[in-house]
Amino acid sequence: MKILVAPLNWGLGHASRCVPLVQQFIDEGHEVIIAGDGESLTLLRKHFPKLRYVYLAPLKLRYGKGKRQVWAMMKAMPHILSWAMKDHALLQAVLREEKFDMVLSDNRFGCYLSPKTKKANPELRSVYMTHQLHIFLPRGWRWAEGLAERLHARVCAKYKEVWIPDYEEKERSLSGELGHPKISNFKFQISNLKYIGPQSRFEPYRDVRNGNEMVTEMSSRRTDSYETVALLSGLEPQRTILEREIAARYAGKEETVLIVQGLMNRPNTRLKRGNITIVPYLGDEELARVLHEAKHIIARSGYSTIMDLEALGELKKAELIPTPGQSEQEYLAFWTQKRIIK
């Protein structure tokens, strides 16, 4: 099969969780082309430098500086709708140029097939991947959650299949009510929901530590150890705000700290400020090693980050900090803590 994989560029999580799927497709002998924009496309290109890639419509969003993001997102809605329409048009152009067997869109709302494309390629599988079947909204807007869920269900209904990167049993679930709504509009509109299990690019590195010879696919040089590792990602300026807060918290202390900025398009240089080391990004094996060696991990409570830390077996030592005003991350931090206590 020829498969097009297109993750949303909203932080690195959507691209990150596509890595194991792309690798699985390659291992099965399929031809994979990656598509997208920004940092998320860069992440996939660094993981799969030999794969072809195509650009889709760029999504340029920013959060507000404060603790609430409702108005920032409301103001961004016209841009998001315009972006989805451009994305849709670009995808149809790609599909006119080449014949594909499957298009996998990770939350790229516009990457569904037009009626004309469906008619020309009736066997083409369109797949939408999301962990948010239920949409959490901030306090004061909870009355609109049902409407938001129905609108998202209409987006999902444009695809032949919907994949949820989680366990089907809610008791084992990493996403909780996000992926398992109490009252779902989806069952009335989508006939092909499929739980594919958590997806993490760190699954092969669960046992990688300094001195461990079990995994040797990548560099085997010893990685420096740090007592605290901070994993950053997400939209600006909140990514930078958290980076500065962490740097201020640990400045001048004896504790060694590594801040991984999550900036894939920066030169991979290391900046050392006393006890704090700052890097734009790390390769998977090196990052797995420092996370295993750390006593404390700081990260946003994004779903892909939770899947990654779960895959490494290091979720219990993580301090999960939701992006201010992002109700989904607030819920995930709560749900994860509840699971860990059990």
Mean pLDDT in each 10-residue stretch from start to end of the chain (342 residues)? 96 96 98 97 97 95 65 72 96 96 97 95 96 83 76 89 94 93 58 91 84 42 82 92 97 96 93 96 96 97 97 96 91 92 66
The dihedrals phi and psi of 240, each to the nearest 5 degrees, come to: -65, -40
Residues 87 and 20 in one domain: yes
Residues 89 and 166 in one domain: yes
Q: What is the pLDDT of residue 74?
A: 67
Let me know: does 167 contact 274? Beta carbons within 8 Å. Answer: no
Q: Which of 195, 223, 246 delimits the end of a domain?
A: 195
Q: Which of 195, 226, 258 delimits the end of a domain?
A: 195
Q: Report the number of distinct structural domains present in the chain.
A: 2
Q: What is the pLDDT of residue 67?
A: 64
CA contacts within 13 A on the Cβ side of 236: 7
Q: What is the pLDDT of residue 85?
A: 96
- Please count the helices (runs of H) and the strands (runs of E) in the chain: 10, 13
Q: What's the rounded Cα separation, in Å, for the pair 245 and 249?
A: 6
Q: What is the pLDDT of residue 292?
A: 97
Q: What's the rounded Cα separation, in Å, for the pair 75 and 64?
A: 11
CATH number at residue 331: 3.40.50.2000
Residues 248 and 311 in one domain: yes
Output the CA–CA distances (angstroms, integers) from residue 46 to 42, 50, 51, 99, 246, in the order listed: 6, 9, 10, 25, 27
Residue 202 lies in a domain: no
Q: What is the pLDDT of residue 219?
A: 42
Residue 161 lies in a domain: yes
Q: What is the pLDDT of residue 224?
A: 84
Q: What is the pLDDT of residue 73?
A: 64
Residues 8 and 81 in one domain: yes
Q: Which residues contact 221 (CB under 8 A, 6 or more apart)?
A: none
Residue 200 lies in a domain: no
Amino acid (1-letter code) at residue 20: P
Please compute Rg for the chain using Cα positions.
20
Residue 8 lies in a domain: yes
Q: What is the pLDDT of residue 72?
A: 61
Residue 201 lies in a domain: no
Residues 58 and 103 in one domain: yes
Q: Which domain covers residue 256, as residue numbers?
A: 208-341
Residues 148 and 65 in one domain: yes
Residues 28 and 97 in one domain: yes
Q: Which of 195, 216, 232 delimits the end of a domain?
A: 195
Q: What is the pLDDT of residue 213?
A: 43
Residue 337 lies in a domain: yes
Q: What is the pLDDT of residue 120?
A: 92
Residues 157 and 226 in one domain: no
Residue 203 lies in a domain: no
Residues 190 and 217 in one domain: no
pTM of the model: 0.91
Residues 225 and 138 in one domain: no
Let me know: does 110 contact 163? Beta carbons within 8 Å. Answer: no
Q: Which two tokens stand for residue 136?
A: 């959490």
Residues 138 and 216 in one domain: no
Let me know: does 109 contact 82? Beta carbons within 8 Å. Answer: no
